[in-house]
């Protein structure tokens, strides 16, 4: 049971003034992403939106300035994913560099406390006797938790990027670019981007008050934290608008120059990636999963400590532990994927593809809470429908992780379900493409029906039909290592600024299976004598013979024994050419 795919070419911007000096393919790709002028491809720091335009920042900064100058206890309450870990590490590093001697952090155990600033996590926080509590990457829905903290006399600053509910928590300050009353130009900051802006504002306030001079402290260079910002931004798969592309590009420059924290270098090396050649994809597919493994299976404190480590040996030891956890995570995920495959097979036995519901809500009592998000994403890619994977949280409660497809805002869909059936969802929150929720076990059948109906009403395209957006075909001369290198440098690519994809007709000259489940090929472009290496991950080539294929692919650079060569990373192939 797989989605139907259709290759469609992007339409370039009709008129643009991009520099003629750009590589021709890069210029074409930029135009396809509606970039129109030179400023939009520049990644200079001075082009960042100014912190002063972020509503709520002044109140948060004033509270933190006073806390630093009077040596108050500042407690950062983070989250258990990579964005939460990077947000926490950045806040601690920034505060300590500004002279805060009592800055500490607390990250919830997802299995014990759940998500956000809950009353339970507040009770744990009270034991640290904080004067001020700062949430990072959470808190916008934590009405009860904020109230519990303030009842204990603790000042609370909420920094978050998740969408707000009807009611906001009664915090002393809230900084969140997605709030309806916030006019900040970029609504796409990750949690780590929000706290970075807060720390920028704090440094300015402390400098203006003469704090650094009085304490004989060197005013910190906040650009030194951009490697952490880049990692959290890519890991959280937020849209890479221009502001986020600047943050990520600047962070990648620091990583390549060897000016990043020891933990990021150590995690890259564990993944056998070269820091000097690091691209956004390395952060998203190599570093982030290892960092996330701590929060999924154990305690995210391990990941945070890796990012806080300044000693290279300590960072390498922590990165190795994270790598071992990631291996465990992959094993658990593989078992869960097999179980999900069995569930889908049962569905396909009783329903045709056209009869499948518009959205799938799947549950197996064996599934692990920490891995259901990845599982939902894998199934979503397979069936091209919104998917929620549920795991048992208690004898009576399920926790679900939702993943969506283009054309459906998953949090809005859950909000609509909650409005129509107030008793059905215990709590929920999230973004356009990902969300989390809790429901009672006994209400799962009702939820499955209601959620599928809601998605069917909101979905913009037919479920099960996926469009592969291509930047067109490449000429024989453009199918070259030079083009692949130019595209690598033209990023960062990611969510909302898709990595370039091309398509064409190729003759399969050779094929073989490598690594048990990957198809290695030598392809010859139609009408050309050129032979090009290609690989299709998780593809066996069963059901078709060597011959002409229409292939959708990305240009990649293969490094082997210090030799760099062109390789096609095949995303989709059709055994029969369709026009």
What local confidence, expressed as pLDDT, does residue 438 receive?
92
**In this predicted model, which residue has the larger pLDDT, 308 or 429?**
308
Residue 68 pLDDT level (bands cut at 50, 70, 90): very high
What local confidence, expressed as pLDDT, does residue 354 receive?
55
Distance CA 235, CA 251 (A): 13
Q: Quote the DSSP letter at residue 237.
A: T
Beta bridge partners of 389: 362, 401
Q: Residue 1 above 50 pLDDT?
A: no
Mean pLDDT taken over the chain: 91
The answer to whether residues 173 and 66 touch, using CB atoms and an 8 Å cutoff, is no
Residue 579 pLDDT level (bands cut at 50, 70, 90): very low
- pLDDT, tens digit, 9 for 90 and up, residues 14-33: 777 889 899 999 999 999 99
Q: Is 526 helix (H, G, I), strand (E, B) or coil?
A: coil
Q: Which of 115, 153, 113 is nearest to 133 (CA)?
A: 153
**In this predicted model, which residue has the larger pLDDT, 355 or 124?**
124
What local confidence, expressed as pLDDT, does residue 479 receive?
96
Which letter, b or e, does each residue of 476-508 get, where b requires 16 or more Cβ atoms within 10 Å of its Cβ?
eeebbeebbebbbebbbbbbebbbbbbbbbbbb
Element (H, E) at 416: helix 410-420
What local confidence, expressed as pLDDT, does residue 295 receive?
82
Q: Residue 206 above 80 pLDDT?
A: yes
Distance CA 460, CA 472 (A): 24
What local confidence, expressed as pLDDT, does residue 158 receive?
98
Q: Looking at 98-107, 345-354, 446-455, 507-516, which range is the least confident one? A: 345-354
What local confidence, expressed as pLDDT, does residue 576 receive?
58
CATH assignment, 56-324 = 3.90.1640.30
User: In the chain, what percentage of residues exceed pLDDT 90?
Assistant: 68
What local confidence, expressed as pLDDT, does residue 544 receive?
62
Q: Per-residue pLDDT averaged across 371-399, rounded?
A: 90
Q: Per-residue pLDDT averaged across 197-224, rounded?
A: 97
Q: Which long-range contacts does 274-280 make (Cβ < 8 Å, 24+ apart)?
A: 274/559, 277/559, 278/252, 279/252, 279/488, 279/491, 279/492, 279/493, 280/230, 280/234, 280/248, 280/252, 280/491, 280/492, 280/493, 280/494
**Residues 6+ positions from 523 with CB-CB distance below 8 Å:** 506, 507, 508, 509, 531, 532, 533, 534, 549, 551, 568
The answer to whether residues 488 and 279 touch, using CB atoms and an 8 Å cutoff, is yes
Distance CA 399, CA 80 (A): 15
- pLDDT, tens digit, 9 for 90 and up, residues 319-374: 999 999 999 988 888 888 888 877 777 766 555 555 778 999 999 899 988 888 88
Residue whose token pair is 């509270």: 63
Which letter, b or e, does each residue of 401-412 get, where b requires 16 or more Cβ atoms within 10 Å of its Cβ?
bbbbbeebbbbb
Q: Give me the phi and psi of 278, to 5 degrees please.
A: -65, 135
Supply 446's token pair. 């009702």
Residue 2 pLDDT level (bands cut at 50, 70, 90): low
Q: Quote the DSSP letter at residue 285.
A: I
- pLDDT, tens digit, 9 for 90 and up, residues 30-52: 999 999 888 999 999 999 999 98
The architecture of the domain spanning 471-574 is: Beta Barrel (2.40)
Distance CA 249, CA 237 (A): 15
Q: Quote the DSSP letter at residue 362.
A: E
CA atoms within 13 A on the CB side of 213: 6
- pLDDT, tens digit, 9 for 90 and up, residues 268-292: 999 999 999 999 999 999 999 999 8
Q: Domains of the chain: which residue ranges?
A: 56-324, 471-574
**Residues 6+ positions from 120 with CB-CB distance below 8 Å:** 112, 113, 114
- Please report the DSSP string for 187-224 in residue order: ----HHHHHHHHHHHHHHHHHHTTHHHHTT-PPP-GGG
């Amino acid at each position: 049971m797989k989605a139907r795919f259709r290759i469609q070419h992007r339409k370039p911007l009709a008129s643009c003034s991009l520099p003629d000096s750009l590589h021709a393919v890069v210029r074409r790709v930029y135009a396809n992403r509606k970039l129109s002028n030179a400023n939009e491809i520049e990644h200079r720091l001075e082009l960042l939106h100014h912190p002063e335009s972020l509503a709520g920042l002044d109140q948060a900064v004033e509270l933190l300035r006073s806390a630093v100058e009077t040596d108050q206890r500042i407690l950062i309450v983070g989250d258990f994913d990579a964005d939460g870990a990077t947000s926490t590490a950045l806040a601690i590093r920034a505060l300590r560099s500004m002279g805060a001697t009592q800055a500490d952090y607390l990250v919830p155990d997802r299995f014990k406390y759940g998500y956000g600033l809950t009353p339970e996590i507040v009770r744990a926080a009270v034991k640290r006797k904080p004067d001020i509590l700062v949430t990072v990457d959470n808190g916008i829905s934590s009405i009860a938790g904020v109230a519990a903290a303030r009842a204990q006399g603790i000042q609370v600053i909420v920094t978050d990027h998740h969408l707000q509910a009807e009611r906001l928590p009664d915090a002393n300050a809230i900084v969140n670019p997605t709030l309806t009353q916030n006019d900040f130009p970029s609504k796409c900051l990750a949690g780590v981007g929000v706290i970075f802006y807060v720390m920028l504002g704090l440094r300015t306030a402390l400098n203006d008050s003469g704090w650094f001079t009085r304490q004989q402290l060197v005013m910190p260079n906040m650009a030194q934290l951009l490697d952490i910002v880049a990692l959290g931004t890519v890991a959280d798969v937020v849209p890479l608008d221009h502001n986020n592309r600047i943050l990520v590009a600047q962070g990648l420059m620091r990583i390549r120059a060897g000016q990043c924290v020891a933990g990021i270098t150590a995690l890259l090396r564990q993944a056998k990636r070269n820091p000097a050649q690091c691209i956004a994809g390395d952060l998203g597919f190599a570093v982030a999963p290892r960092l996330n493994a701590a929060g999924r299976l154990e305690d995210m404190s391990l990941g945070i400590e890796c990012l806080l480590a300044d000693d290279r040996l300590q960072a390498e030891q922590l990165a190795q532990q994270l790598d071992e956890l990631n291996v465990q995570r992959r094993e658990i995920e593989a078992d869960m994927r097999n179980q999900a495959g069995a569930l889908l097979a049962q569905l396909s036995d009783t329903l045709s593809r056209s009869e499948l519901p518009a959205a799938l809500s799947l549950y197996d009592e064996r599934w692990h809470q920490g891995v259901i998000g990845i599982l939902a994403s894998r199934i979503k890619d397979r069936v091209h429908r919104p998917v929620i994977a549920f795991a048992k949280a208690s004898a009576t409660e399920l926790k679900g992780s939702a993943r969506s497809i283009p054309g459906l805002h998953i949090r809005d869909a859950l909000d609509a379900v909650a409005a129509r059936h107030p008793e059905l969802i215990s709590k929920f929150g999230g973004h356009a493409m990902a969300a989390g929720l809790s429901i009672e076990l006994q209400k799962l059948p009702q939820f499955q029906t209601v959620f599928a109906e809601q998605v069917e009403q909101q979905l913009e395209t037919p479920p099960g039909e996926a469009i592969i957006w291509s930047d067109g075909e490449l000429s024989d001369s453009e199918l070259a290592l030079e083009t692949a290198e130019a595209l690598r440098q033209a990023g960062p690519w990611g969510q909302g600024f898709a990595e370039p994809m091309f398509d064409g007709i190729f003759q399969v000259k050779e094929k073989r299976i490598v690594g048990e489940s990957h198809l290695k090929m030598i392809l010859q472009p139609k009408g050309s004598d050129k032979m090009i290496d290609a690989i299709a991950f998780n593809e066996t080539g069963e059901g078709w013979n060597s011959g002409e294929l229409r292939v959708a692919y990305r240009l990649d650079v293969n490094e082997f024994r210090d030799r760099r060569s062109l390789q096609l990373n095949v995303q989709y192939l059709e055994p029969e050419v369709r026009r």
